[in-house]
Amino acid sequence: MKQSLSSRVSLIYALSVRNLWRQRRRNTILLVSVICAITGVVVLNSLIRGMQLQMVDQVVYNLNGHITLHAPDYRSDPAITRGFLEDFEEFTRKLDSENLAGWATRIKIPAVVMSERETRGVQIVGLDPAQEDISVVADLPIEGSFLANSADNRIVLGRALLTQLRTKIGHRIVVVMQDINSKSKEVGFQIAGVYDSDSEGMEKHVIFAGKGALQQFLDSKSITELSIRFNTRLIPPDGLESISQSFPNLETVDWKNIDPILAFMYESVNAMVYIWLAIVFTALVFGLMNTFITAVLERTQEIGLCKSMGMKSSLVLYQVVTESLIVMFLGLIGGLLLSWGVLQLLGDGIDLSAFAAGVEMLNLAPKIRPAVVWQDVSIVVIATVFLALVASLYPAIRAVRLDPLIALRD
Amino acid sequence: MATEILTLNNVTRIYGKEATQVNALTDVSLSITKGEFVSIVGPSGCGKSTLLNIMGALDQPTSGEVHFDGNSLDEMSRGELTDLRLQKFGFVFQAFNLLPVLTAAENVQFILQLLGFARYERQSRTREILDALGLVDVADRPATELSGGQQQRIAIARALVGEPALLFADEPSANLDSTATRELCELLQQINTDRGITVVTATHDPLVMGYTNRSIHLEDGRVVEDKSNP
Ligand SMILES: Nc1ncnc2c1ncn2[C@@H]1O[C@H](COP(=O)(O)OP(=O)(O)O)[C@@H](O)[C@H]1O
Ligand SMILES: [Mg+2]
């Protein structure tokens, strides 16, 4: 006969909804501010996350990969003498179980290039074009032609370096490197093509040669790095450990080690996301609390009446909390829908090329594409519910403490 | 022997402290018997509301004891007093009685919801009581659109719907004209005789007093007369 819980729940719900509706103008303003706050947090966080991931993409994409493996002493003195042997089958077997976009082996050593007129210090990168679909190399705009294969004995320069050397496609240049015996070796290369890059630094300092051809010139079968790119934008949780266990004799370097400044920025962005969330929600909590205190004060008599007739303190408390939860729940739904709409509009990214100079300095892509990180969104959802409880608790306790006699006195 | 439902022993209620203190009730001893229709009368400020609130477990005496059905209210927790009010008492207040966001019928159902009755039971009991009090016509009207007399009758319906042992009414006719007052008193009388519910009402209106079968006269917080009306 008695269905105590459901009958009380329906009472609380009816009272909450109607009391909210009674002050619809005030509560609509409150709802709109909740929607705006949630949308602001979700959209801005998505932009910040997009920017953050693009920063990582850039490093990973730029001939680094997520993880690069070297001989242990290579990084202190990059030379072919500090390389290691490439065992294609072993690498394939070890990397097979990882979720990779691909891997590439390279030689990266310092060199000096000379034209008839100029001399410049550069980094020569010996690569196999067939493996480079995981790096920026595959997408560089090329004038002339790129290396046909690993054995191609020509060379590709950046546009800025070509200008500095005052030479042309098809001409020859001389490259001086240290060979496997630490002897200087001069090799003449024909310029196959010129690439353009967003980064002038790269155009000036990075030149490409065939890996096999370079090994022949240097009298060595070594490579200096194995570069790995995962199928995900970030390294999967145990990816680094798994790779370093597979290659115990090599040094494992992830993108954070390769670019410590960027890694620091990346971590700072994490903190920024949460600080920003905390600021917005703290501001919101006071707005909410104020509204619900007002709501309790203007209903003093009604609350007193309910209590005098025998409404339990817990129900008085739930009633105020329920009002807050309803507003926050609607605000959450509205905010997430609006965020979705705004992100849909921003899907192509926001063009920052007007600020290109600053953007390049910060190593950012000229267009920011928002990235929705579900963990951030779920934190917003949890924070909203938490906020609804926190903001209504004090007003609810005030309602509970009302003396029904004083409340009823006219 | 008639059953005593509510007993007060040497009840004193003092408001405030030291210099500003007010003795609202002084040494009141009385008992209410099951089935009585009692009026508490006296001029404004004599302590009628204070007495009613103490009887109704809404307020606690500064000294003295109150027993309901043989149990001391003094020994009950806040929660137990709340339950007692919900389950055993019905209240009709002077002016502010109905929740403005609910309809007339919903205000009546309110008590049944607090008591935890199922939906069907709530609705049939509410219909029944509104029917008995001739209030079916206004059942679905918002509380704010009812006349003063209708509001007080709905308040009585609400006080009755939970089938309380005792109904307290604090100057229920204060805002009503004499016709409406008569109708209200007839209703209280009918409840008392037909349903056997004990009714205690505070009033300073001789018209109301005339309907009751016992009147307790207060003056400056003391009982000065307690007599049966023939
Ligand atoms: N909460 C209170 N604080 C201080 N004095 C009060 C309070 N309630 C009532 N009083 C005083 O107690 C006396 C009795 O009041 P009350 O019981 O309301 O009288 P009545 O209902 O007969 O008009 C009055 O002098 C009144 O001013
Ligand atoms: Mg009074």
User: Is the CB of B46 inside a 6 Å radius of any atom of ligand 1?
Assistant: yes
Percent of chain A past pLDDT 70, that is, above it, reads 95
Among A12, A309, A322, A408, the residue to mutate for chain B (most B Cβ within 10 A)? A309
Domain layout of chain A by residue ranges:
5-59+263-409, 72-82+95-221
Q: Which amino acid is at A255?
A: W
Among A7, A8, A12, the residue to mutate for chain B (most B Cβ within 10 A)? A7
Write out residues in chain A with pLDDT < 50, as ranges. 1-2
> Which positions 262-301 of A are in contact with B (Cβ < 8 Å)?
301
Q: Choose among A11, A305, A410: nearest Cβ to B113.
A: A11
Q: Which amino acid is at B22?
A: V
User: What are the backbone angles phi and psi of residue B59, rounded to the nearest 5°?
Assistant: -145, 155
**B86, A305: Cβ pair inside 8 Å?**
no
Q: Of B209, B226, B228, B210, nearest to B218 (Cα)? A: B226
Does domain A72-82+95-221 correspond to CATH entry 2.40.70? yes
Write out residues in chain B with pLDDT < 70, as ranges. 1
Q: How many domains does chain B have?
A: 1
Distances (CA, A) of A382 to A32, A41, A388, B14: 19, 13, 10, 50
Burial class (CB in 10 A: 0-12, 13-18, 19+), A74: buried
Q: Residue B93: its chain A contacts at CB < 8 A? A: 305, 308, 408
Structural domain boundaries enclosing B140: 4-228
How high is the ipTM of this complex? Answer: 0.94
Residues 6+ apart with CB under 8 A from A157: A113, A165, A173, A191, A194, A195, A207
Helices (H), B73-136: 78-88, 104-115, 119-132
User: Is the CB of B50 inside a 6 Å radius of any atom of ligand 1?
Assistant: yes
Q: Of B70, B99, B68, B97, nearest to B84 (Cα)? A: B68
Q: Choose among A21, A309, A315: nearest Cβ to B111.
A: A309
At A18-45, the pLDDT tens digits run 999 999 999 999 999 999 999 999 999 9
Answer whether A31's CB lies under 8 Å from A330's CB: yes
Integer Cα distance of A329 and A17 in angstroms: 13
